[in-house]
Structure 1
Amino acid sequence: MSEKVLMKGNEAFAEAAIRSGCRYYFGYPITPQNEVTEYMSRELGKAGGSFVQAESELAAVSMAYGGAVAGGRVFISSSSPGIALMQEGFSFICSTEIPVVILNVSRGGPGVGSIQPGQADYYQATRGGGNGDYHLFVFAPSSIQEAVDMMAKAFQISEEYRNPVMILADGVLGQMMEPVALPDPLPAATTEDISKIKPWALTGTKGERPHNVIRSLYLKPEELEDRIMEIDQKYQKAKKELVRYETIGLEDADVVFVAYGSTARITEEAIDLLSEEGIKAGLIRPISLWPFPYEAFDQIPNNTKAVISVELSRGQMIDDVKIGTNGRFPVSLSSRVGGILITPPEIAADAKKALGVAK
């Protein structure tokens, strides 16, 4: 681990990917993650990797699919509407069980939206916009350092489970600057390494093994059902092993907030404001958005009066919050949209309203 250096989030994400052994990046420029593409174009070649700017997001995800099928450690990034265009590719990659790490530096609004931060990609990330039964593993950092630390783990999980992993950040984390400690670089896998650690990859038989076949098409219904059930066993395993979350002050909380990413940091300031008024507030911060940490809600005491989902959307994570609370508490939403960041006083005001103490 190096000494801390001041870095913009997007550049830190890219450097962390390179230091995690990534040697293949396929991208297309879109705000607010353009610095990732720019950094990769400049630095990946120095590490012996290959950067390709695709002609579109559709092409980028297809190139990523091909590079990963051949056993490469592949990283792709985009922002909300660009990620939307990649959904069909994600379905194919999940179907064929190919490891890829995806970064979404999300923006506000539907359609083109704005270049400002948002969290309205929650459904897209956790429910999937492609066809069929599949899941991305989705993790949401709340700081640049956490995202950097998360990157190497994302590659490990992706390769262990043979499934894409998405890091869901937002425009705040992508554009802000923070001091970060970068990890020591990991060596890139050689061709010989790939043949050993990824025996399924299309590396060429060299006359030493049977041909590998990677496919998504199964014409016999029974064969396809068996395939889907086999993949589902992996998802059930992930629900037991990959849940990540953080809790703050749940023990005697009058109100409990649920927030992820940069919004969780803003919510912590709201908790301090409420404390000054004698209101005890706690926080559940989901780090894994899929699988979602439903078990964290069992820690909320019975005397809590309200649970509030804090989001930069009109309410998407709130559905998972309601599942987690299982009807034990009233659940409400505190939000801003359109690329406008919610403020600590706004969150505190919503809490007092939910508690019936608003002036």
Structure 2
Amino acid sequence: MHKQLMKGNEAIVRSAILAGCRGFYGYPITPASEITEAAALYMPQVGGVFLQAESEVAAINMLYGASSAGIRCMTASSGPGISLMQEGISYMAGAELPCVIADITRGGPGLGNIASEQSDYHQVVKGGGNGNYRTLVLAPYSAQEMAGLTTLAFELADRYRNPVVILADGFVGQMMEPVEFEETAILPQLPEWAVAGTAESRPNMITSLHMGIDDLEAHVNALEAKYRLAEQRETRAEHWYTEDAEIVLVGYGIVGRILKAVTAEARAMGIKVGLLRPITLYPFPSTDFRRLAVHAHSFVVVEMSNGQLVEDVRLALNGKRPVEFLNRMGGMSLRMKRS
């Protein structure tokens, strides 16, 4: 294997193709547009389909159709576009359709601006659509993780038959870094549940509609059992100098990289600081926090939003330790000084 210099956004597409993705349906939006551009370039080269939809609403519904036919597929957008996709995401979760959605976050609310932020946390981690469902959410902090977590995203989407979101801030999507890819590619295969236009698949039914109240309750309970299983098996987090940490810094995405530098500086000064970086935002690594609370006396959550991740940290700790909160918004870097 050799490394290639590229943006995190492009790394997503290359990794998706190696993971067997053969359908991309999307609409360009800053700071995610390079994903759509790369998909337009690479998908046809491997016999896949690229289609620029007329809107994000159309894109997510095209994803519904492609996934129903058993195609590994994905889309990409940013805050306002992800908002428009929420109904379709709910439909796909309800119909148990796998797909991957890259959300390269910009400032909000509304149109906000095109600067990097982390304000989509609640929208994707808590679910912005109707009904009782969840999306699995992965949070890369480098171009290399954009590639590696994309591979994982497709594996999880198929394993749990559920939408998986790659949540990355604009910094991670736009920065260029050396990226190493898997040497082998996954060949696309139709799952047995797909509606593939064959006699064998004719009995298959893809829907999120359950008119009977007992039927819907049973279906939602089945979804809940699936999510509980994911919570037991799929949580991921990076620990850095946490073994003896008295103060634990918490951040994901680009913030996690900044906090590594802060941790190193604090350690050099003799302060017992460590970093816990959640990689799965759902399922959330609550157990990691509870374990660290045995010896850490405080936690400091840092994020580029108005305080969204911090709520899950406080829930995980359940009052066992104090949780402090630091933030910047509007696209402000954490190293920018207030005027």
Q: TM-score, normalised by structure 1?
A: 0.91
Q: Look up the match of 1:150.
A: 149
- The aligned runs of 1:271-350 (5 Å cut-off) are 271-343=263-335
Partner Cα distance (1:242, 1:40) in 2: 28
Contact 1:68 1:99 in 2 (8 A): yes
Q: CA deviation at 1:22?
A: 0.8
Contact 2:192 2:201 in 1 (8 A): no
SS at match of 2:59: helix
SS at match of 2:113: coil
Instruction: Give deviations 1:253-291, integer Å, cap 9, x for gaps.
Output: 231111111110001111122234332211111110001
Corresponding position: 1:234 with 2:226: yes
Partner Cα distance (1:289, 1:34) in 2: 24
SS at match of 2:220: helix
Corresponding position: 1:141 with 2:140: yes
SS at match of 1:228: helix
Partner Cα distance (2:53, 2:162) in 1: 23
Partner Cα distance (2:197, 2:42) in 1: 29
Q: CA deviation at 1:75?
A: 1.0
Contact 1:21 1:185 in 2 (8 A): no
Contact 2:241 2:274 in 1 (8 A): yes
Partner Cα distance (1:181, 1:22) in 2: 18
Instruction: Give deviations 1:309-345, integer Å, cap 9, x for gaps.
Output: 1100111011111012221211111111100111299
Q: CA deviation at 1:302?
A: 4.2
Judged with a 3 Å threshold, the aligned counterparts in structure 2 of structure 1 residues 86 and 301 are, in CA distance, closer, same or farther, namely closer
Q: CA deviation at 1:209?
A: 5.6
For residue 201 of structure 1, the aligned residue among 176, 187, 194 is 194
Contact 2:194 2:201 in 1 (8 A): no
Q: Look up the match of 1:130.
A: 129
The 10-residue stretch of structure 1 (292-301 or 179-188) with the greater mean CA deviation from structure 2: 179-188
Corresponding position: 1:248 with 2:243: no
Contact 1:266 1:344 in 2 (8 A): no
Identity %: 43
Q: CA deviation at 1:245?
A: 0.7
Q: Look up the match of 1:39.
A: 38
Partner Cα distance (1:131, 1:99) in 2: 18
Contact 2:95 2:206 in 1 (8 A): yes
Q: Which amino acid aligns with 1:309?
A: V
Q: Look up the match of 2:252.
A: 260
Q: Which amino acid aligns with 1:234?
A: K
Judged with a 3 Å threshold, the aligned counterparts in structure 2 of structure 1 residues 188 and 213 are, in CA distance, closer, same or farther, namely same
Instruction: Give deviations 1:97-137, integer Å, cap 9, x for gaps.
Output: 00101111111221111111111111111101000000000
Contact 1:94 1:134 in 2 (8 A): yes
Contact 2:293 2:320 in 1 (8 A): no
Q: Which runs of 5+ in 1 are unaligned?
A: 347-359
The 10-residue stretch of structure 1 (313-322 or 147-156) with the greater mean CA deviation from structure 2: 147-156
Partner Cα distance (1:86, 1:230) in 2: 24
Partner Cα distance (1:303, 1:210) in 2: 58
Partner Cα distance (1:303, 1:157) in 2: 33
Structure label with greater radius of gyration: 1
Partner Cα distance (2:218, 2:164) in 1: 23
Judged with a 3 Å threshold, the aligned counterparts in structure 2 of structure 1 residues 187 and 209 are, in CA distance, closer, same or farther, namely closer
Judged with a 3 Å threshold, the aligned counterparts in structure 2 of structure 1 residues 164 and 310 are, in CA distance, closer, same or farther, namely same
Partner Cα distance (1:185, 1:172) in 2: 29
Instruction: Give deviations 1:120-174, integer Å, cap 9, x for gaps.
Output: 1111111010000000000101111112111122111111111111111110111
Q: TM-score, normalised by structure 2?
A: 0.96
Q: Which amino acid aligns with 1:20?
A: A
Q: CA deviation at 1:298?
A: 2.4
4+ runs deviating over 6 angstroms = none
Judged with a 3 Å threshold, the aligned counterparts in structure 2 of structure 1 residues 32 and 184 are, in CA distance, closer, same or farther, namely same
- The aligned runs of 1:24-103 (5 Å cut-off) are 24-103=23-102
SS at match of 1:115: strand
Q: CA deviation at 1:305?
A: 3.1
Partner Cα distance (1:226, 1:275) in 2: 52
Contact 1:9 1:176 in 2 (8 A): yes
**Number of aligned pairs?**
338
Partner Cα distance (1:341, 1:136) in 2: 28
Q: Which amino acid aligns with 1:131?
A: N
Judged with a 3 Å threshold, the aligned counterparts in structure 2 of structure 1 residues 78 and 185 are, in CA distance, closer, same or farther, namely farther
Partner Cα distance (2:158, 2:123) in 1: 22
Partner Cα distance (1:7, 1:324) in 2: 36
